[in-house]
Each structure stands twice: as C-alpha cells, then as structure tokens.
Amino acid sequence: MLGTADATPLQFWTAVTPGCYLQLDDVVVTRRELPDREPVTIAGVVTQVRARHEGAQFDSDVFAIADGTLPALVQEAAEITTTRVDPEFYVPPTPGALVYRAEGEARSAALHFDRMERRVPMGMGRDGVPVYLNADFLDGSRGAHVSISGISGVATKTSFATFLLYSVFRSGVLGGDAVNAKALIFNVKGEDLLFLDHPNSRLDDPTRATYAKLGLTAGAFPDVRVYAPPRPGDSSGTPDVSSRLAGVDSFYWTLTEFCADRLLPYVFADADDERQQYTMVVHSVAAHLHRYAQPADGGVSIDGTRINSYPDLVDHVVEQLTDDETRSDWAGSAVNMGTVNAFARRLIGSKKDLARLIRGDLATRRPHSVNTAESAQVTVVDLHNLPDRAQRFVVGVTLKTEFERKEKAGTAKPLLFVVLDELNKYAPREGSSPIKEVLLDIAERGRSLGVILIGAQQTASEVERRIVTNSAIRVVGRLDPAEASRPEYGFLPAAQRQRALLAKPGTMFVNQPDIPVPLCLDFPFPAWATRVSEAGAAPSETLRSITQAADPFAVVGSRASALSDDDIPF
C-alpha cells in the first residue's frame, strides 16, 4: 500500500514490487488488522496503473536517468477500486500493507461469485479465468433485461447476445425450466443469424477448450426455427432468403387478422409527435375495420365490398374517408379534411412496404404466424430484406402478440428472451409510437411475466430512459468517443471509458448489481455458424431438405450469397 496517496475504504493505491506487474482488471486482496475485532479483508479490481521516475524533477531528466548520470528509480503503482469488504467494517487499508493478486477462492469472493447461487458463464477475464453473471438479475428473480451498446460492426453486440443465450440455455442455471424456455431473435442485418443451428466449421481446439473452461460444450443451438417474409410479388409465399436452403418458414398476416386484431396502428409505428391529429383517425379506422370487416375466402368483405389485398384495402379506406357521406362513419364527425389527408398520405405510402406481409391471396389454414409457444426453443424472425416501415410493423405486432400471450398465461415461466437490435430505432428517447409502448411495457412489467428483453443499440443515449434504467445488466463494447462521454455510461470508471474506445471485437465491459465495478471479459468465438461459408451440416438437415422439397410452400430460393470477411463477428 502506498503511503504517499490517500487511501479510502472504497479506493486506494498500491505500489508494485520491482520485477512484478499489475494490469488493468487484475483482482487483488489485502488485510487490515484491527485492535479490537477480527481482521478486515479488502478486495478490489485494478482500475488504473501508472509508472514514473522517482527522483526526476524535470521532463528532460529522463535522458540523464537513461544514461545513468542521474540517479532515479522506476516505480509503478496501481489504483484499486474496492469490490468487497469482509466483514463489512469500512476502514481504509494501512499504508505499507501487503497487497496480493487474488486467485482461486479469493478471486471468487472478491468478485462476489461465491454468493451467486446460479452463475451464468459470460466469458474469460483478463487473467484467463471465467467470469460469471448472476442469473437472478437476468431471469427476473431479482432483476431482468440486458442493455448492450457499441459501434455497429465492431462491438459484436449480437454475437454477445447469442452467446449469452447459449450460455443460459446450456449451463444448467435454469434447471428443468431450460427445456421450455424460449428465445425470440429479430434478425435485422444480413442473414448471419439464420444459421444458429449449424455448427461453425471454423471452430478450433483452443476455442473448444475455452468453452470447456466455462463449463459449456461447444456446438450449435440444437432447436431453431427460422421465419422470413414472403418474396415480393410471389403468390406461393416463398420465404425471401437466399443463403439458407432449408428449414425456413414464411410469415405473414391475413387481411382478416389485420382487421380483427386492430393492427392498423402498427402501420404507423414510427415515433411521431403526440400532438399529431391523424392518430385519432388511425384508431377510428382500426375500430371500424374490427367491427365491419368479415372474412371472405382469404380476403375480407366490408359493407358488401370484397377486398383481396392490402393495396385494395388501403384504396377502399382512403375512398371512404374522402367521401363526404361516409367520412364521419370511418373517422368521426370532429375530424377535418386536413387531418384525413395527413392520414391518407401515410397510409398510401405503406402499400408498397406492407403488401407482401398482409395477404388475402394465401391459404388461411396454412401456418403463417410467429408463435414461440408452438415453435422451437429459438425462433429467428428475419427482417433484413424488409424496408424500415415493414420492419417496425413486424417487430411491433410480434412483440404485442407474444406479450399478450404471456399476460393471458399469467405466469413467469416458461421464460421468453427477446433479442432486438437497433433498439434506439424502435424505442427512441423522444416521441411516442405503438411499438415503443410495447417495449416500455416489457421493460417495466416483463420481469413479472417472464419476458426478458436483451436490447442492443449503437447509442444508449438515444434509447428511452425507462428501458435503459430497467435493465439490470448493462454491457458495453467498442464505443464512439462522443457517445462514451454521455451520462448513460456513468457506471464505467474513467479508465474503462477510455478503454472502450479501443476495445477489440469480443471484448465487453459488463456491469451487474452484485459487483460495484464493471468486469472486462472476452467471450469465445461463436460455436455456431455466423455466415453461410461457416455453416456445417445441421442435425437432420438432410431430412428437412427432403421434407421441404415435397412441400411447394416451403421451397426456398437456391441462390447462395457469399458473405465478405467484413461480416465475421470477430
């Protein structure tokens, strides 16, 4: 312990013996002897390290010292931020006290791992020893939700989210509930997440050894179901994917479902000023469609008018709203024409984006809905080929449906983990929208219903505050310098904020309620394929190919797109 720097119970400096070293994130421990009670063990994490010449007065003295003409000593010191005091008697360590690098049980105690009844392995610390997450703050027992931030393409946010899911499902922390636990993943960039059930052909022995140290078996997700939207203009409902040739189902909504379930507000799911008057028209028209639209052989019939496609439905609604005789029935008597026109312009603009998602020309009895309760353990919903408005519609309606299903069940188990990238787009800090309200509901009430949000975003500062605040676990990868200075990252010590600007892919800083200092870790390379060139044969791949070949509605395009090296998560 240094005697030249103030020591407090929560932070102190220690000298480093010549020939030894301490690096950032090392775990250390010291003892404070007390005259009238048992000794106090103080443990902490190295949050800063410095080295300097003792005996030098001017900057130029370094040259004389290097030549040996001026006597001086090189001295290193490390700043320690306290993580645990045992027993909890908060006194500073004594200057001159010995400080040791913590190992084994001492390290586990310093990082509170010994108090975690259920530990989720997250990766390896800087010392090459596993780092854990307290499952109680993930599954809703004492907290829930995960917020992951970092630069797109560098911070490996999605890779960490999928690894965390894999660890939760395969580490045994859920016990018997792991069999029924589900995950819903929205794939918004490329087709990287369409191969979670394929082993990674690039997996090597050192990576397998890392998984073994974490108590995990390296492999693919065993039970995955992939959904993709139908191709534009395709009347057979063929899923719009190019790299995966089997095991993909198309999803869409029939016109009957669109009207009966009042899904029109999600067509306007972009965040708007709450003072916009046309939102009143949205809800009035949705109520009218719910009341008067009748099923008619895949399409709907409204006041005797047969409608077979979404563009036809839009045209019919606009026609009724612009007719002086029917406008009040659809929009209410207090709405002026300017408001109606504002609604009509936005509705007409949605025809191109949503025509392939809201159908009246496909078989209604054919399974076409995303339902995690009746699906595999991991459900991947592919959105990357959809325009922005269509992506918002799919995310909003799917989350609304799943959350309502959990509300009706009334129990937290089985758990449902929702992985959503670009959270700042769906739940921005400013404005209001139906999808934002659903995400807020999940963040504030999802814990009690067993719905766990794992949200990823480039900028946490642009996400609704209540969603970030309700996230018990906060994860940071590589950050943009301007973003790192925002108050949302106040939980990071100054040195870690600087390091986040340099973090390499695979390095994450994880903050959890049990530990007062965020832990730096490296999580292993994915054991599942992250692109088509890495995809080995999935279990029963051959059988699925044969089955789908016999089903004309399940045939996926035979084109395979090669991904560039830039798509690799590490």
pLDDT at 546 over 70: no
205 compared with 328, residue with greater pLDDT = 205
Q: Over the range 275-309, which residues count as b (16 or more CB within 10 Å of their CB) and which as e? A: ebebbebbebbbebbeeebebbebbbebeeeebbb
Whole-angstrom distance, CA of residue 428 vs CA of residue 465: 9
* Average pLDDT value for residue range 439-452: 94
pLDDT at 271 over 70: no
For residue 364, what pLDDT is reported? 62
pLDDT reported for residue 366: 66
pLDDT at 567 over 60: no
Instruction: Give residue-wise pLDDT tens across range 167-220.
Output: 999 999 999 899 999 999 999 988 889 999 999 999 999 999 999 999 999 999
The helix/strand/coil state of 129 is coil
Mean pLDDT for the stretch of residues 388-396: 94
Task: State the pLDDT confidence band at 537, using cuts at 50, 70 and 90.
Answer: low
- Mean pLDDT, residues 489-510: 92
Higher pLDDT, 334 or 303: 303
The DSSP H or E segment spanning 32 is strand 27-32
pLDDT in tens, 101-137: 999 999 999 999 999 999 999 999 999 999 999 999 9
Q: Which residues pair with 29 in a beta bridge?
A: 43, 100
* Strand partners for 510: 475, 519
* 543 has a pLDDT exceeding 90: no
pTM summary value: 0.89
**What's the pLDDT at 365?**
64
Give the pLDDT band (50/70/90) at residue 566. very low
Q: Which residues contact 291 (CB under 8 A, 6 or more apart)?
A: none
Return the SS3 of 314: helix
Q: What is the pLDDT of residue 545?
A: 43
Mean pLDDT for the chain overall: 88
Tell me the CATH number of domain 119-228+381-546, given options 3.40.50.300, 3.30.565.10, 3.30.70.1400, 3.30.930.10: 3.40.50.300
Phi-psi label, residue 298: left if phi above 0, alpha if psi -120 to 50, beta otherwise: left
Mean predicted confidence (pLDDT) in 271-300 = 82
In sequence order, the 6+-apart residues with CB closer than 8 A to the CB of 568 are: 530, 531
Q: Which two tokens stand for residue 329?
A: 């029935």
| H/E segment holding residue 338 | helix 337-349
569 pLDDT exceeds 50? no
pLDDT at 253: 94
- Tell me where in the chain the CATH 3.40.50.300 domain(s) lie: 119-228+381-546
The sheet with strand 451-457 has its strands ordered as 130-134, 119-124, 519-522, 507-511, 473-476, 146-149, 451-457, 416-420, 182-187, 378-382, 224-228, 248-250
Residue 383: other Cβ atoms inside 10 A: 24
* pLDDT cut 90: percent of the chain above it: 69
